[in-house]
Structure 1
Amino acid sequence: MKINAIITGATGMVGEGVLIECLQHPDVEQVLVINRKPGGVSHPKLKEIIHKDFFNLAPIESQLSGYNACFFCLGVSSVGMSNEAYKHLTYDLTIHFAQTLARQSPDLTFCYVTGASTDSSEQGRVAWARVKGATENAVMRLFTKAYMFRPGFMKATPGQKNVKSFYKYIAWLYPIGRTIYPAGFCTLKEVAVAMIKSATNGYEKKILEVKDIVALAKR
């Protein structure tokens, strides 16, 4: 099965890593990135739409049909943000985008990047984890083929431009952490390859923790 994928968040660390792998992978035929600002990447497989308001997709909705996978890598940190603002930019934005795709392509594979410690019960004490859990649950209700990716510490792909300062400063910890605590460490390449493989062949779990991401990437 060949993939025509939509990627969001391609100007961020995770999205850029996923984009790099998609452009190189033989199973991916076309890639559409939707960015708020130009990503500066040119490739025969790649099409870019510049669109600033993800809460109003009507102007670009007709351009979203014909794709069989979405790798949703758009997200914000909850640090310094009110619970209401974080929910709006996480749950509301993601679900609005997912609903738009579901109307056009209900059989699409939707891969959503959340994070380790996400709260599927939506009842825990940590606000961001509840919001992420609620978002996961809502996406899985929308799509039969939905996969939630919960990476921990991610090693950036060589050549990436958009790497968070936090990851740059502690990148030296990766080989140590991977050895001591493999359940918490993976590479962005593994995340991207696992997404591609979930779209081509599926996976037996809907929620992929780090060990699942690594296992699927190796298949």
Structure 2
Amino acid sequence: MTFIYVSGSGTDSTESGRTIWARVKGRTENELLRLPFKAAYMFRSGLIIPANSVKSKTKLYQLMYDVMKPLNSLLKRFGSVITSEQLGRAMVRVGKDGYSRSIIESSDLKKIGK
């Protein structure tokens, strides 16, 4: 079985960084990579922008998306921003075909998910 974990940009694999969320995600990644999966991939996405006018059920998230919408085209040019559609395509491709590295950063996810 292939396992894909959507982690996050800034995750700390050393588990010794300053922020607890980065350490926890790093520890989770490390533990998953030790398990006997056929393959395991850690997707370190940054900001995920909903594609195709999908609305969040979480009101605060939707408010954030609405406020940021005018900046979306600018944000997408940066490596740490990906659409939900790109992320989904990257998950399917990596799950099906594999990838050369276990930890995949957002800029690579964008390329895979094109």
| TM tier relative to shorter chain | 0.7 to 0.9
Q: Counterpart of 2:76 in 1: which secondary structure?
A: helix
Q: Counterpart of 1:112 in 2: which secondary structure?
A: strand
2:24 equivalent to 1:131: yes
Deviations 1:83-138 (A, max 9, x none): xxxxxxxxxxxxxxxxxxxxxxxxx1111111110101101111110000000111
Identity of aligned residues (%): 38
Give the drift of 1:159: 4.3
Give the drift of 1:212: 1.0
Structure 2 counterpart of 1:122, one-letter code: E
Specify which of 82, 88, 95 is matched with residue 199 of structure 1.
95
How far apart in 2 are the matches of 1:161 and 1:175? 18
Residue of structure 2 in register with 1:145 after alignment: 39
Q: Compared with structure 1, are the counterparts of its residues 118 and 185 closer, same or farther at alpha carbon in structure 2 (3 Å cutoff)?
A: same
2:70 equivalent to 1:172: yes
Residue of structure 1 in register with 2:7 after alignment: 114
Residue of structure 2 in register with 1:8 after alignment: none
How far apart in 2 are the matches of 1:173 and 1:144? 40
Residue of structure 1 in register with 2:86 after alignment: 190
Equivalent residues, number? 109
Give the unaligned 5+ runs of structure 2: none
Q: Counterpart of 1:183 in 2: which secondary structure?
A: coil
How far apart in 2 are the matches of 1:207 and 1:132? 12
Deviations 1:44-97 (A, max 9, x none): xxxxxxxxxxxxxxxxxxxxxxxxxxxxxxxxxxxxxxxxxxxxxxxxxxxxxx
Give the drift of 1:204: 0.7
Q: TM-score, normalised by structure 2?
A: 0.86
Give the unaligned 5+ runs of structure 1: 1-107
Residue of structure 2 in register with 1:22 after alignment: none
Residue of structure 2 in register with 1:160 after alignment: 54
Q: TM-score, normalised by structure 1?
A: 0.47
Residue of structure 2 in register with 1:214 after alignment: 110
Max radius of gyration: which structure? 1
How far apart in 2 are the matches of 1:114 and 1:145? 16
Q: Compared with structure 1, are the counterparts of its residues 144 and 123 closer, same or farther at alpha carbon in structure 2 (3 Å cutoff)?
A: farther
